[in-house]
Amino acid sequence: MRILIAVFGICAYAQPALERPGLGMIVDANGALRPVYGIAGSVTLGDPIAAGVLSTACSRKLCLSKTATSILWGDQETAAPPGPALFALDGNRAFVYFPQSNQLMRWHDGVLKPMDFDIGGEILSLRAAHGRVEFAVRRDGEFWIVRSDGAVLGALTGAGAPVMLLKDGALFKAGDALIVRRDDGTELSFDLTGVESLLPMGAGYVQVRAGAAAYALCVEPEREQLFVLPEPLP
Amino acid sequence: MMPRLFVALLLPLAARAQLVLVSVDGTTESPVGSTYDFASVAASDAKDVRFRARNTGSSAVTVTTLAVNGAGFTVDRPSLPFVIAPGNFLGFTVHFAVGTPASYSAALQVNTISVILLARSVLAPALTIFPACTADATTATVNFPRVPKGSMGLCNLSLQNPYSQALTVSNLVVTGDAAFQGPLGVRMPMTLQPGQAVTFTVQFAPVCGKASYSGALTINSRTYPLAGSGFDPPLPKPILKFDSAGFGSAQQRTLAISLPTAYPCPASGYVHLAFTPDTQVVTDDPAILFVATGGRTVPFSVNQGDTQVLLGSQAQAIFQTGTTSGALRFTLDAVGIGIDGAATTVLTIPRTAVSIGSAGASRRVNDLDVELIGYDNTYTAGVMSFTFFDAGGNAIGPGAIRADFTADFRAYFTRIQSGSAFVMRATFPVTGDARKVAGVEVELTNAAGVFRTQRILFQ
C-alpha cells in the first residue's frame, strides 16, 4: 500500500510549533525551584517558582516538589508528611517515599494514598517500572535494587551514595566519579568530586550538586553529557 | 605684731609656688629648670621654643614680668600684666636667631622665675637637592617624586662647605617612615674642606596599603622634612588563557588569567563579559555568562607578589558561549589602578550550520510528528526538507518534502530574545497507513550551511 504524505497538508498542517527548549527544574542553593531553559552547555535559569523546596522530581509530564509539609504540583499543593521526599514519576502518577516518617504513598491528582511495603535498609531512590515501584537501598554498606515486597532485583556493586535509579539503569557516586550504569552492564564515568545529591530535572537530565556547584547530567543513552549549571543572579 | 609679719612673708612664696614654667613640643609639656638649652642652631637659621607659664594653684596669678635679656634672643608675648586663672597658662615664644657662629646665652624672667637660656650658632653645610627631587622653598621639605609601590625612588643630594674654614658633619641621619632609607654614600663623621662637596643618596620605597610618607633628614643641627607618596602601579597586561582553541556555540569553556610579572600589592577588580551578535535579529544572548555568578561579571583578585589572577577565588572561571554567532569581549577592570595595555580580549564565535542535539519522531493514526531540539546561531534557519522512509529503507513518495519556515523562525527568535535554541515540532498528515512510515531524515539550511539529521525512527 502506498503511503502518501499529503504535500498540500504540509503547508496547512506542518506549520511548525516553535518553543523555547527547557531542561526541566532545579532546586537552587537557596531552596528555590527554578526552570532551566536552553540546551546542553548553554542554559539560563528562570525566576523562582517556589521557595523552601527540599526535593523535587520532574518529567515531561509531571513535576512534583516537596516542601517541609506539602507536595507542590503546578500551582497547587497537597499536604504531606514532614521532611524531604523521594519520587518515582510514572506518567501523571507518582510513588512518593517520605524518609522522615518511613511512609510510601501513591500520588495522583493531588491525592496521597499510603502503600504497604516491606523494605529493609535505607531507601535512597525510587523508580516506577511497569506500574510498580522499585527501590535502591543501602544495607550494611552495600547497595541493592529491590521491589516493594523485598525481592532483590540486583546489586549496585561499587556504588556509593547518592544513588538514583534510572529507567534503564542507575546513577551513583563512586569515589570522585559519577557513574551511569545501564542495565546492559555498560558504564559511563564522569570525574566529579564531592557529589552530594541527585535530583531528576526532567527531559532526561539530572541535577547534580557537588560542593558549591550544581551540574546537569544528561542521562539519555548516547547523549550523556555533564555541564555546569549557572548560579542564579543575586 | 609677729603673727602679721609671718603672714606677709608667706604670701609671695605662696604666689610663686603657683606658677610653673614648662616648654612645649607639640602637645607635650616638659618642666623647665634653671637653664634651658636651645642646642645648636645653624648660622643664619632661627629656632623658636614655646613656653607656658602654668598656674597650678587654686587662685589667679598675675604675670607682671616676662622678659628675655641676651643677644640673639627675643620673646613674643602678650601684653602685661596678664592674669592667669587657676589651671590656665600664659603661652609665649622665645626666638633665637644669629648670623655669627658662637655660644649665646640670655636670661628669661617670668615674675620671680629665672631661667638661663643657652644656644650655639654653628656653621652648617649647604644642601643641594638634585632632580627629580624638589625642595619646598617655604618649609625646606625634600619632596620625592611619586614612586610605584613595590619600586624604589632615589633622591640625590649634596653637602657643600660654603665657608672659608673646614666644617665637620657629625650627624647625618634619616628618620621617620621606614620607607625612607639612607643616607647612602657617606660616612660620619666627615670633614668638609672649604668649598668641598660630597653627594649622597636617600632611598624611598613605598609599601602596599599606604600612600603618603613623611620623614626627616637631619644634618648636624639642621633638619629637612622628607615627603613622598606611593601609588599602585597599573596591573601588567594580563594574559588570558582559554582551555583550547576552536570556539563555537553551546560550549562551556574555561578562562584563566595570569600576569606576565608579579604584582607587588594585593589587587582586585572585575572581569566583564560583553557580547555583540552578528545578527540584528537579537541584541544579546542571555546564555552567554559566567556560570559561577550567573552573570556577565566575575570578580578577580591578585595576591601580593603573585602572577596568578584568581577568578572568584578560583584558578579559572567557566563561561558559556551561548547560541549566537558574534564577538565575546573579555574586559578587565582593575579597580582604581588601571591596566598597562589593552584590557580587552575578543573571541569570535563563528556562524555555523544548524545544530540538532536531539531529534524524535512519533506517529499517530493519521499524523506523523517530528520534534527537533537544537540551535541556529545565524538566525537564518527555516528552509527544510523532510524525507520519509519505509521499513525497507526506501524513500516514500513524493520524496523530499521541502518547506520554508524562515518567517516562523524569525518571528520566534524575535519574540523570545533568548538565544537561538529551539524546539520545533512539525506534524504531517498522512493518507494511508502511518505505521508503514519507519523513519525520517530532515535537512535544515541556514546561511552557514546545511545540516542533515541521521534517520530518525518513528516510535
Contacts of A75 (CB under 8 A, 6+ apart): none
| Minimal CA separation from B428 to chain A, in Å | 5
Question: A119 — contact with chain B (CB < 8 Å)?
Answer: no
Measured between alpha carbons, how far is A74 from B75 in angstroms, rounded to an integer? 93
Q: Which of B87, B122, B157 is the last residue of a domain?
A: B122
C-alpha cell at B24: 612645649
Question: B436 — contact with chain A (CB < 8 Å)?
Answer: yes
- When the pLDDT of each residue in chain B is averaged and rounded to a whole number, the result is 92
pLDDT at B458 exceeding the cut of 50: yes
| Minimal CA separation from B430 to chain A, in Å | 5
Asked whether the beta carbons of residue A44 and residue B289 sit closer than 8 angstroms, the reply is yes
Asked whether the beta carbons of residue B434 and residue A3 sit closer than 8 angstroms, the reply is yes
Residues B85 and B116 in one domain: yes
- The mean per-residue pLDDT over the stretch A195-207 comes to 93
Residue A14: the pLDDT is 60
Residue A105 DSSP code: E
Question: A111 — contact with chain B (CB < 8 Å)?
Answer: no
Question: B131 — contact with chain A (CB < 8 Å)?
Answer: no
Q: Which domain holds residue B6?
A: 2-122
Which chain A positions have a beta carbon within 8 Å of B286's beta carbon? 44
Residues B13 and B115 in one domain: yes
Residues B206 and B287 in one domain: no
pLDDT at A7 exceeding the cut of 50: no
Is residue A95 within 8 Å of residue A126, measured between CB atoms?
yes
Residue B239: band (very low, low, confident or very high) from pLDDT cuts 50, 70, 90: very high
Residues B97 and B6 in one domain: yes
Asked whether the beta carbons of residue B401 and residue A2 sit closer than 8 angstroms, the reply is no
C-alpha cell at A136: 535502591
Q: What percent of chain B has pLDDT over 70?
A: 96
Give the closest of B431, B433, B436 to A6, CB-based. Answer: B431
Q: pLDDT tens digits, residue range B429-455?
A: 888 788 889 999 999 999 999 999 999
pLDDT at B3 exceeding the cut of 80: no
Which chain A positions have a beta carbon within 8 Å of B405's beta carbon? 15-16
Residue A68: band (very low, low, confident or very high) from pLDDT cuts 50, 70, 90: very high
Residue B262: the pLDDT is 94
Residues B174 and B271 in one domain: no
Give the closest of B289, B294, B436 to A1, CB-based. Answer: B436
Asked whether the beta carbons of residue B373 and residue A21 sit closer than 8 angstroms, the reply is yes
Structurally, chain B folds into a number of domains equal to 4
Residues B302 and B362 in one domain: no
Question: A158 — contact with chain B (CB < 8 Å)?
Answer: no
Interface confidence, given as ipTM, is: 0.89
pLDDT at B77 exceeding the cut of 90: yes
| Chain B interface, best mutation among A42, A44, A220, A229, by max B CB count within 10 A | A42
Helix, strand counts (H, E) of chain B: 2, 41
Question: B247 — contact with chain A (CB < 8 Å)?
Answer: no
pLDDT at B149 exceeding the cut of 70: yes
pLDDT at A179 exceeding the cut of 90: yes
Residue B430: the pLDDT is 84
Residue A81: the pLDDT is 96
Question: B417 — contact with chain A (CB < 8 Å)?
Answer: no
pLDDT at A11 exceeding the cut of 70: no
Which chain B residue has the Cα nearest residue A204? B358
C-alpha cell at B87: 589651671
Residue A16: band (very low, low, confident or very high) from pLDDT cuts 50, 70, 90: confident
Question: What is the torsion angle, in degrees rounded to the nearest 10, for the CA atoms of residue B409, residue B412, residue B417 and residue B422?
Answer: -70
Give the closest of B321, B401, B424 to A10, CB-based. Answer: B401
Residues B333 and B383 in one domain: no
Residues B147 and B183 in one domain: yes
Residue B220: the pLDDT is 87
Residues B366 and B443 in one domain: yes
Residues B364 and B343 in one domain: no
Asked whether the beta carbons of residue A231 and residue B428 sit closer than 8 angstroms, the reply is no
Residue B7: band (very low, low, confident or very high) from pLDDT cuts 50, 70, 90: very low
Identify the weakest region by mean pLDDT among B14-28, B78-92, B252-266, B304-318.
B14-28
Q: Which of B122, B154, B173 is the last residue of a domain?
A: B122
pLDDT at B49 exceeding the cut of 70: yes
Measured between alpha carbons, how far is A143 from A140 in angstroms, rounded to an integer? 8
Residues B131 and B203 in one domain: yes
Measured between alpha carbons, how far is B37 from B30 in angstroms, rounded to an integer? 13
Measured between alpha carbons, how far is B163 from B42 in angstroms, rounded to an integer? 13
Residues B382 and B432 in one domain: yes
Asked whether the beta carbons of residue A16 and residue B436 sit closer than 8 angstroms, the reply is no
Which chain A residue has the Cα nearest residue B389? A3
Q: How many CA atoms lie within 13 A of B184 on its CB side?
A: 10
Range 72-91 of B in CB contact (< 8 A) with A: none
Residue B366: band (very low, low, confident or very high) from pLDDT cuts 50, 70, 90: confident
Global pTM?
Answer: 0.80
- When the pLDDT of each residue in chain A is averaged and rounded to a whole number, the result is 91
Asked whether the beta carbons of residue B403 and residue A10 sit closer than 8 angstroms, the reply is yes
What CATH number is given to the structural domain containing B376?
A: 2.60.40.2440
More confident residue, B335 or B145: B145
- The mean per-residue pLDDT over the stretch B357-382 comes to 94
Residue B16 DSSP code: H
Q: pLDDT tens digits, residue range A138-171?
A: 999 999 999 988 899 999 999 999 999 999 999 9
Which chain B positions have a beta carbon within 8 Å of A34's beta carbon? none
What CATH number is given to the structural domain containing B188?
A: 2.60.40.10
Which chain B residue has the Cα nearest residue A230? B291
Q: B456 vs B61, B384, B397, B430, CA distance in Å? A: 112, 15, 17, 17
What CATH number is given to the structural domain containing B255?
A: 2.60.40
pLDDT at B2 exceeding the cut of 70: no
pLDDT at B6 exceeding the cut of 50: no
Q: Which of B284, B318, B349 is the last residue of a domain?
A: B349
